[in-house]
Amino acid sequence: MKRLTTIQPIENFTRVFFLLSFLLFFSCTQNQKQHTDSKDMVAARVNDAVIKQRDVDNRIEKRLYNILYQVYALRRQEINVMIDEQIISLEAEKHHLTSEMLLDSIINRKVNRENLDAFTRKYKFDVNGITSFNNTMEAISVDSHRGRQLLELKYKKELLELYTDSLRAYYEVAIDLQPPPTPRVLVDKFNARYRGKTNSPVTVFMVSDLECSMCREFKPTFDSVYQKYKDKVRFGFSYFSSDVTLSSLALECAGKQNRFWEMYDSIANRKKVITVDDAFAIASNCKLDMEKFYNDIQDTLLYNTLVDDYKKISGQGVYGTPTIMVDSRILPDWDSSESLETAIEHALSRKQ
């Protein structure tokens, strides 16, 4: 009997454990399935016709993204504040101080008339006033009591940012928070040129304006990425601007003679916007049929085609240049080859 009373609780515990495990697994599976199927949920009905959540989300995809990105930006901002607080706390411990004592010794001791005057001249607060956001934006004189208060607060904020930025180099800081996926852009609707591995499942697409200084500055970065991945990835290009430009016309004319990329490199590598004489000189250097180039560049049909192209691009939510996309999704951070290469590597790994 003693042996039976010892084994029975163990058997009961085992049964309960497996039952709870099954229920937990079933619950998690159902939750995951509900999340996966949420897009296919019926959101509304009109008689026998149904409106699915997926269709609603597709209609307002760009507006949803803007809201989600605002949430992401708020979270990232607060994460950076919390990281700085943690770093300051760790740094204070090293010196056997509280965070308040450390900041007082580093920042408050620099707040004096000489430094505040230099700060004022640096940002021309003495000329333009200091901006205050109190329901409405207004410029306040630094000679007023409120102006002096704002000046000191802004100066302390800059000192704190400089101090925490300098400390981050000595700590392992990693932010794992990811931005929401950007809306898909239907680049196949664009008038585009492609090069690289044109049958690749991964496409890097750039919308650019060769008369935009930022676009020309970014070209070396994009070129280095192209050279690294041209045997693995398809690279696309579309021109976009507020107006039809000489550069865009010259590119399209060169494209008609299969010299698009030669014209692209010649224009983009120049430090200044091309003139008409430059366009014809480049066309000659690219070995174009000059009579055809002359006729094409004056063709109103070509001009109207570019106007339609710009409307299609802006209709897809692309409003600025350069805009970089990987597999039809806009990259929020494209200012370095590292960020672009990371996005490409992720895209390639997903397609393997």
For residue 101, give every residue at least 6 positions away whose Cβ sits within 8 Å of its Cβ, in sequence order, or none.
92
Q: How far apart are CA 44 and CA 206, in angstroms?
A: 39
Report DSSP letters for 9-26, one per residue: HHHHHHHHHHHHHHHHHH
Model confidence pTM above 0.85: no
Closest listed residue to residue 322, CA positions, set 188, 218, 231, 229: 218
The strand pairing partners of 42, in sequence order, are 52
158, burial (CB in 10 Å: exposed 0-12, middle 13-18, buried 19+): middle
**Which segment, 90-94, 138-142, 318-322, is predicted with the most confidence on average?**
90-94
pLDDT in tens, 212-229: 888 888 888 899 999 999
Closest listed residue to residue 322, CA positions, set 213, 238, 207: 207
pLDDT in tens, 4-46: 333 344 445 445 444 444 444 444 444 444 444 566 799 999 9
DSSP 240: -
DSSP 40: G
Region 244-259 average pLDDT: 95
% pLDDT > 90, the chain: 60
**Of residues 35 and 155, which shows the higher confidence score?**
155
Report the relative pairing of strands 193-196 and 234-239 from DSSP bridges.
antiparallel
Region 170-188 average pLDDT: 87
pLDDT in tens, 258-301: 999 999 999 999 888 999 999 999 999 999 999 999 999 999 99
Q: Does residue 331 contact residue 218 with C-beta atoms inside 8 Å?
A: no
Q: How far apart are CA 109 and CA 296, in angstroms?
A: 68
In 3-state terms the chain splits into helix, strand, coil percentages (rounded to 5) of 60, 10, 25
pLDDT in tens, 117-129: 999 999 999 888 8
The pLDDT value recorded for residue 203 is: 95
For residue 252, give every residue at least 6 positions away whose Cβ sits within 8 Å of its Cβ, in sequence order, or none.
239, 296, 302, 305, 306
* Candidate from 98-107, 189-198, 310-319, 327-336 with smallest mean pLDDT: 327-336
